Structure 1
Amino acid sequence: MSSFGQALARGLNVRHIRFMALGSAIGTGLFYGSAAAIQAAGPAVLLAYIIGGAAVFLVMRALGEMAVRHPVSGSFGHYASRYLGPFAGFITGWTFAFEMAIVAIADVTAFGIYMGFWFPEVPRWIWILAVIFLIAALNLMRVKVFGETEFWLSIIKVSAIIAMIAGGAAIIVFGFGLPDAANPGLDTLLGSGGFFANGIWGVLASFAVVMFAFGGIETIGITAGEAENPKKAIPAAINTVPVRILLFYVGALSVLMMIFPWEQIDGETSPFVQIFDALGIPAAAHILNAVVITAAISAINSDTFGAGRMMFALARQGQAPAGFARISRHGVPWMTVAVMAAVLLVGVVLNALLPESLFLLIASIATFATVWVWLMILLSHIAMKREIKRQRLPASEFGVPFWPVASYAALGFMVFIVALLGIMPDTRVALIVGVVWIGLLFVAYRLWVRGPGRERAVLADETGVYSENNDVAAKAPAPAG
């Protein structure tokens, strides 16, 4: 049975939330997409990950400050409505749902590629169809079951990355499995053109995939509505996850490029699998393939969760079909899970039609959506800080470091990434699709959401959800006028 108007069940603790964010952000972008980034930038891709990771950390701190102050379902969609207006909230919420849907299609695409390592004769779409049914089933269970599943899936891939870094370091030191002529270490890393092998332009070209790799980490904010103790869980997750992701990306890719010449990484399969397969280490490639398959399932799981919860929140605000707010007896918005499963079926069709060129196209479009959401998070945070100062409200418990310089620097960087998508020929289509998407949302808002007095009513309702003492049940007065 299902019903309208019920609250989501709270069942996520600190470790669930921490590993859910890892599940979304350490997945296809690292295990598969990193090949495209390496091809573009060479060893300097490490610098791109460091710069991108630093900017994303500032976005996460901005989101964390708002989530601790206002722990509600829908998170940054609510904050955009609260501080920038209902239309900004509408665009932010739907663009995040779009981002998660596109990223999930990229993830199921990668899943099909990974399965092809073992079963090259089986059409990719068959594996994708199977994983869609699995993910739908997991997302219809109680949120605590979902959290536990995501925790263990993430544990597997995080442990594998750590083991791979340690094993790779041993190969570099002792030369296990390498030919006699090999010279692992900095000589291999820098031996094909130096650190900036493809110049600064190559580094810039890699940013589309690099930023895609970090996409989904903002799911931490979505969990606020289902966290058992948001004021404890959100800061704990935010303070550790971005740093860990940065270390995993930079550490893992450094080791890989010290073992295997970067220009030979071809993107036919996961670079991790390719390298250990080429080294002839018994069963290592098969073990790693199992790990990247686990990582893909984990990422699809988190993507489906994030998109579903955002659509639920939009429905509660009157900005999505009312059916999206239906809650199952397990406290889960089942209708949004069904919608995401249907969207993922599009991935089956696309993989049947465009098996070779699909990943980079999807990654570029997802990068636009991801960066747009991050832009709105930063703008909402800046507006919140101005309101706090203007109304002399109590300071935040979990503030952004180096405010305001850091926040404006992150904002400028995100604008730069959007412009970069349009400059680079391979990613220009992403900017075109993004602009069309925003235009469609504008038309949809004018036709179906905004009506006489409706926009003000939505904003008043949004404002009523918040209070400055973190008691989300308290009703603040609606704005005058």
Structure 2
Amino acid sequence: MSNKPTQEQLQPAPSNDAPQKLQRGLSERHIQMIALGGSIGTGLFMGAGRNIAVAGTSILIIYVLVGFFSYMVMRAMGELLLTRLDYRSFADFVSDYLGPKASFYLGWSYWLSWVVTCIADVVVCGAYMQYWFPEMSAWIPALFTLSILCLFNMLSVKAFGEAEFWFALIKVITIIALILTGGWMVFTGWTSPDGVTASVHNLTDPAVFMPHGITGFLAGFQIAIFSYTGIELLGTMTAETRDPEKILPRAINALPLRIVVFYLLSMMVIIAVTSWQGVSPDTSPFVTLFAKAGLPAAAAIINFVALTSAMSSANSGVYSSTRMLYGLSIEKHAHWQFRILSRTTRIPLRSLLFSCFCMLSGTLLLFLVPNVSTLFTIVSTLAAILVIYCWGMILVSYLVYRRHRPDLHQKSTFKMPGGIVMAWATLIFFLFSVVIMVFDPDTLAALAVSPTWFIALWLIWKIKEKRAGAEKREWNAKSASS
């Protein structure tokens, strides 16, 4: 029996109802909550401790800056996606404006960014489980979590959306409860068992603005960028969203308010209640806040919520990497089998299994680097570098779109604020964010490794071009002889 794909498998279906099309199973309720959950992830629950420890209260400025420019990326992406509703993801408009080679680089880099992010998330799941079981090896809950998520993603996209809705709702309720509880502690002058009094002074003390100087301030950018990883997840859901023209702008425009509420207010409360000196870089500051307040039961609940948050982020990673690999296969940038959908649930099952296998392999790094905090920093840095690259490609596509399709820009009802000037400013900011990773040993290690990925992509593309050229010459020779 031949292993060659059939003509039906090779060609994308012409309509939404055809067998090889993804289902539009995500409603506005799902998209809004997925967008909300995407901006509240492991970077906030786990990475905020390290960020506060190294940057002090200047971390608030960092999150505002990164949040602002991340929002600009989202606005550029939103304008481009809505110019054509047949775009499956932002990789499609990158292909249109920058060519298939750029789409190849972007698609595989974004796929890897989510594989790496998922590894970071399940590694952190291991750390959260050690809160209750200190003697347990972190790799055991990490592998168990990944296995569960892989099985769960074999269900329909509607089931994924429903799960992410409830995951996100848990995170939102928890953070709001933390802000309200912390605010009450500050208002009443709560004093913890170790003698720390909750006070606004802990937040306004000049000594903790940049406790480690400019070096500490710059070190805070990497985790801040990783924290916002996932906001662009909306750009991979267009093909499975019921009414993208209405839903996407609403979800994107809600981002600034989320940044203020969930990042700035929560960190202000954490520092005000626990003090900068009381924040540990190796544990979740959310758990620390309640533990120091003498509420171990509440701390355990928050640890559980942080665990579900990491699982939620990892779940998004499994989903997004699977859909990006599916899109790469449709564009013939990946093996044809990755575009085949399961008959019952209409999901790209082979893309899912391959992505999960890669995540599983990466999780085994816990055997080489058993310290969860160190491994999390290295892996999250690599994810941040890849995400910056993908965001940069979105912005470059926007600049080319503005140059070559001013007619589409004029007709757009969701224009990027600041247009070309803001796109260039955002590109420069993220380039600066990559450069400053040189100054921290852990981030430098990940930065030094990242070029090997792009060299590998270049080699694969050259092999792909050579093979395509050989096939074309063979076809021309057969045509000439016939």
**Contact residue 165 and residue 252 of structure 1 kept, 8 A:** yes
- The answer on 1:119 being equivalent to 2:136 is no
Matches within 5 A, 1:324-473: 324-328=338-342, 329-356=344-371, 357-389=374-406, 394-448=410-464, 451-452=467-468
Which residue of the partner structure matches residue 463 of structure 1? none
Shift of 1:179: 4.9
- The answer on 1:205 being equivalent to 2:219 is yes
Three-state SS of the structure 2 residue aligned to 1:232 is helix
Residue 25 of structure 1: which of 39, 44, 51 is its match? 39
**Contact residue 53 and residue 214 of structure 1 kept, 8 A:** yes
Shift of 1:409: 0.9
Cα gap change, 1:26 to 1:147, in 2 (>3 Å) = same
**Contact residue 74 and residue 310 of structure 1 kept, 8 A:** no
Three-state SS of the structure 2 residue aligned to 1:404 is helix
Shift of 1:263: 2.8
Which residue of the partner structure matches residue 196 of structure 1? 210
- The answer on 1:168 being equivalent to 2:168 is no
Residue 106 of structure 1: which of 120, 126, 132 is its match? 120
Aligned Cα root-mean-square deviation (Å): 2.1
**Contact residue 208 and residue 421 of structure 1 kept, 8 A:** yes
**Contact residue 124 and residue 352 of structure 1 kept, 8 A:** no
Cα gap change, 1:220 to 1:242, in 2 (>3 Å) = farther
Cα gap change, 1:450 to 1:74, in 2 (>3 Å) = farther
Paired AA for residue 267 in structure 1: P
Which residue of the partner structure matches residue 310 of structure 1? 324
In the alignment, the residues of structure 2 paired with residue 383 and residue 420 of structure 1 have an alpha-carbon distance, to the nearest angstrom, of: 28
Can you give the 5+ residue segments of structure 2 that lack an aligned partner in the other structure?
A: 1-5, 13-19, 473-482
- The answer on 1:75 being equivalent to 2:89 is yes
**Contact residue 194 and residue 292 of structure 2 kept, 8 A:** no
Shift of 1:336: 1.5
- The answer on 1:234 being equivalent to 2:251 is no
Paired AA for residue 403 in structure 1: G
Paired AA for residue 142 in structure 1: S
Shift of 1:178: 2.6
Paired AA for residue 448 in structure 1: K
**Contact residue 17 and residue 233 of structure 1 kept, 8 A:** yes
Shift of 1:184: 2.2
44-53 or 4-13: which moved more?
4-13
Can you give the 5+ residue segments of structure 1 that lack an aligned partner in the other structure?
A: 457-481
Which residue of the partner structure matches residue 30 of structure 2? 16
Shift of 1:173: 0.6
- The answer on 1:143 being equivalent to 2:178 is no
- The answer on 1:87 being equivalent to 2:113 is no
In the alignment, the residues of structure 1 paired with residue 107 and residue 52 of structure 2 have an alpha-carbon distance, to the nearest angstrom, of: 32
Cα gap change, 1:455 to 1:282, in 2 (>3 Å) = farther
Cα gap change, 1:268 to 1:455, in 2 (>3 Å) = farther
- The answer on 1:47 being equivalent to 2:61 is yes
Shift of 1:454: 9.8
181-190 or 76-85: which moved more?
181-190
Three-state SS of the structure 1 residue aligned to 2:139 is helix
Three-state SS of the structure 2 residue aligned to 1:69 is coil
TM-score, normalised to structure 2, is 0.90
Shift of 1:189: 2.2
**Contact residue 53 and residue 246 of structure 1 kept, 8 A:** no
String of CA shifts for 1:126-159, please: whole Å, max 9, x gaps. Answer: 1112111210122111111110110011000111
TM-score, normalised to structure 1, is 0.90
In the alignment, the residues of structure 1 paired with residue 464 and residue 256 of structure 2 have an alpha-carbon distance, to the nearest angstrom, of: 38
Shift of 1:245: 3.2
**Contact residue 198 and residue 275 of structure 2 kept, 8 A:** no
52-61 or 75-84: which moved more?
75-84
Shift of 1:71: 3.2
